[in-house]
Amino acid sequence: MKKAFETLRWAGTTDGVLELLDQRKLPGRMEYLACRTPEQLFEAIITLAVRGAPAIGVAAAYGICLACRQLPDPSPAAETLKTVLKTADYLAQSRPTAVNLFWALNRMTRTAQQVLAANPTCTTGQLKEALLAEAKTIETEDRRMCDAIGRHGQQFIPDNAAILTHCNAGALATAGIGTALAPIYTAHAQGKKIRVYMDETRPLLQGARLTAWELAQSGIEAVLQCDNMSASLMKSRKIDAILVGADRIAANGDTANKIGTLALSILARHFGVPFYVAAPSSTFDLSIPDGTGIPIEHRRDDEVTHVAGSRMAPEQIGVYNPAFDVTDHADITAIITEHGVIERPCTDTIRHCLRQDNP
C-alpha cells in the first residue's frame, strides 16, 4: 500500500526541520507543522499533533537532531554529547506510557556515545551526520515493521470479514502503513472484502477523526460507532475479530493501549470474538513483569468536559481521564509483531518470539 500522505518527514540535511502532519487539524484540514527545536516537538507530542507510539518514537529520534542543528562546528565533543543527553531526558518527559519514545531516544544517545568512543576527535558535523543517519534508519525500520505486521496479520482476516478497531493504529500512528490497520490494508490489497467498524474513541475521538479519515481514502468499507455500541455489535455476531494497537507491552503480554481497550477485551472474551494486538518489538518492555508496572498517563480535564472547544459538563465537576488502560494477556488471542505471531502470549512465548534469553 502506498500512503496518500506522510505522517512525518525530515526536510533538509543536518540543519533541516521535522515536518509533522498536524493531527489536531484532521479531518478538517491537512496541514504540516514545522518543528525546528526540541521545545516545539515536545509541545507537538503532548498536544497530539503527532501521536501513536511508533510515530512518537520516530519523531523523538529526529528531536535529537533538532537539538544539534544549531551547535557550531567545531564544538567540544563532550558538550555535544551533553546536549544529546539533556535533550533525550527532556523529550522523555513528554508522554510516559508509550515505550517506543524511550526506545528511540536510547538508540540516539547510544549512537552518539558510540561515535564519540570510536573517534573522540570527530567534528560536530560528523556527529550530526551520524545522528541524522540513525534517525532515518529508525524511520525506515518503522516502515518495514508495518509491512511485516501486515503480512503476518492478514491471515486472521478472511474474505468478507468484519473487523472492530479502537483509536487509531494506522498510518497516522506510524511512519508506515500502521500496526493494527496494517493487516487490514494488506488483506484489502490482496482483494479481500473487509468491513471495518471503528469506535469513535472518546474523549479525543481518534477513531472518528483519524481512523475514519484514513479509511475513507483507502476504499475499505468503514462504519463509525460510539464506544458504547460494541457490546451490541458483538452480541449480534456482526464482528469476526478485534484488532488494536499497543503503547507498551509488559514481559507477560499485558498490554497498555488507548482507554477503552480493556472493556473491548472483556467483551470479546464473553462473546467469543478473537482479540488481536498488533505492535512492533520496540513496544515490548521486558523490564516490566506485568501490566501493574506500566505507567498510565492522565490527561487534562477539559478533554472530557469539552467537545470541539465547547463545554459539555457542569463547572467544577470532577474528572477522571486516564489516556490508557491495560488488557490482561489472558484475554489476548495473539500479538502480531514484525517477527511473527505470538499466540497465547505469556513470558515464555514472548521471549521466544523476540529471541531474548531469560535474564
Cell of 30: 491537512
Query: How far, in Å, CA of 5 to CA of 60, rounded?
Result: 20
pLDDT tens digits, residue range 8-20? 999 999 999 999 9
Across the beta sheet with 194-199, what order do the strands follow? 221-225, 194-199, 161-165, 241-244, 275-278, 334-337, 340-343
Amino acid at 277: V
Query: How far, in Å, CA of 248 to CA of 254, rounded?
Result: 9
pLDDT in tens, the chain (359 residues): 667 799 999 999 999 999 999 999 999 999 999 999 999 999 999 999 999 999 999 999 999 999 998 888 777 777 889 999 999 999 999 999 999 999 999 999 999 999 999 998 888 889 999 999 999 999 999 999 999 999 999 999 999 999 999 999 999 999 999 999 999 999 999 999 999 999 999 999 999 999 999 999 999 999 999 999 999 999 999 999 999 999 999 999 999 999 999 999 999 999 999 999 999 999 999 999 999 999 999 999 999 999 988 999 999 899 999 999 999 999 999 999 999 999 999 999 999 999 854 44
142, 199, 247, 254: the catalytic one is 247
337 contacts 149 by C-beta, under 8 angstroms: yes
Mapping DSSP onto H, E and C, the string for the chain reads CCCCCCCEEEECCCCCEEEEECCCCCCCCCCEEEECCHHHHHHHHHCCCCCCHHHHHHHHHHHHHHHHCCCCCCCCHHHHHHHHHHHHHHHCCCCCCCHHHHHHHHHHHHHHHHHHHHCCCCCHHHHHHHHHHHHHHHHHHHHHHHHHHHHHHHHHCCCCEEEEECCCCEHHHCCCCECCCHHHHHHHHCCCCEEEEEECCCCCCHHHHHHHHHHHCCCCEEEEECHHHHHHHHHCCCCCEEEECCCEEECCCCEEEECCHHHHHHHHHHHCCCEEEECCHHHEECCCCCHHHCCCCECCCHHHHEECCEECCCCCCCCCCECEEEECHHHCCEEEECCEEEECCCHHHHHHHHCCCCC
* 247 has catalytic annotation: yes
Domains of the chain, start order: 8-148 (1.20.120.420), 156-354 (3.40.50.10470)
pLDDT score at 195: 98
pLDDT score at 1: 66
pLDDT score at 50: 98
Cell of 90: 527532556
pLDDT score at 163: 98
